[in-house]
Amino acid sequence: MHFADDLIARVRALGHPLCVGLDPHLARIPPLFRRGSMAPGDPQTADAVEAFLGAVVDRLEGRVAVVKPQIAFFEQLGWRGLAALERIVARCQERGLLVLLDAKRGDIGSTAQGYADAYLSEGAPLKVDALTLNAYLGLDTLEPFAATGAGLFVLVRTSNPGAGDLQDLKTPEGPIYLRMARNLRPLSDRLVGKTGWSNLGVVVGATWPEQAIAVREALPQALFLVPGFGAQGGSAAGAVRGFVPGPVGLEGGVVNSSRGVLFPAGAATDDAAAWGKAIDGALNESIDLLGQAVAR
């Protein structure tokens, strides 16, 4: 199965491009799931994270196309965190959710192959459907990942305050983030599927919609992973500015919300029913906002 074709078919069927970010901030995990000291080095902390995200994932089945675990929050728990992530990914897959691992890896030659073998190759211990990548080291570093047939999302223009330090530096042919986007065009073209969308996608922050338009022009067939919706301040309309008309609405990527769905008002409780209600409410709100933004 071609990742981009699969993802876009699911997004069309659901009518919204929401991706739920699985970022288990330890301090925010609700009392319902907390165990032990919740310190990163406490073995029980990984169990708490697993219980919390498992309960979240159970509520996402049939509602969203894809989830995005942020691997840093698992790495901070040591090997137990990675073992918990393996089980959470398995649970997502049992629930029919695509998994886009946010790892922002980038390295050369045999090391890039190591990362591809860790997360994308057949037989990988923690096999996911797609991975975020950093291409500062050059286009050759993307090849081992491209060879796996999985989905790739390369950082182009991010949503943090310092994003412009490097990404906005001007060259005679445009800013660096656009040069990065244009550099990716041949690989994007190579990985296009039947829907016209490519397995080579890009990360473009929701806080800079005008830049999304420029990146879309440079990469007409690349799916966008748009972080920064909700908690980071981006609007739904802004988040889909790089999208284009498709058969059932605007399409061309997914929009991530992490904290907005995982830690809404009312979810800091030890009451299971109240917690479920808070999560469902936040999920419905994000789905509605993004569904309206892509509706024609």
Kindly list the catalytic residues.
Answer: 104
User: How remote is the C-alpha of 277 from its chain's centroid?
Assistant: 24
| Least CB distance to a copy of itself at residue 119 (A) | 8
| Least CB distance to a copy of itself at residue 21 (A) | 10
Q: Which of 13, 62, 170, 210 binds a copy of itself (CB under 8 A)?
A: 170
**φ, ψ at 278 (rounded to 5°):** -65, -45
Q: Is 41 in the site for a copy of itself (CB under 8 A)?
A: yes
| Least CB distance to a copy of itself at residue 118 (A) | 4
Q: Is 233 in the site for a copy of itself (CB under 8 A)?
A: no
Q: Is 39 in the site for a copy of itself (CB under 8 A)?
A: yes
| Least CB distance to a copy of itself at residue 167 (A) | 7
Q: Which of 10, 34, 95, 104 binds a copy of itself (CB under 8 A)?
A: 104
Q: Is 138 in the site for a copy of itself (CB under 8 A)?
A: yes
Number of residues that bind a copy of itself (CB under 8 A): 64
Q: Which of 44, 93, 183, 235 binds a copy of itself (CB under 8 A)?
A: 183
Burial track 35-66 (b if 16+ CB lie within 10 A, e otherwise) = beeeeeebeebbbbbbbbbbbbbebbeeebbb
Question: Using CA atoms, how far apart are residues 285 and 296, in angstroms rounded to an integer?
Answer: 19
Provide the phi-psi class of 231: left if phi over 0, else alpha when psi is between -120 and 50, else beta: alpha
The encoded tokens of residue 162 equal 């310092």
Question: Using CA atoms, how far apart are residues 48 and 36, in angstroms rounded to an integer?
Answer: 9
Residues 6+ apart with CB under 8 A from 34: 48
* Cβ atoms 21, 262 nearer than 8 A: yes
Residues near a copy of itself (CB under 8 A) are 23, 25, 39-41, 70, 72-73, 75-83, 86, 102, 104-112, 114-115, 117-119, 123-126, 134-141, 155, 158-167, 169-172, 176, 179-180, 183
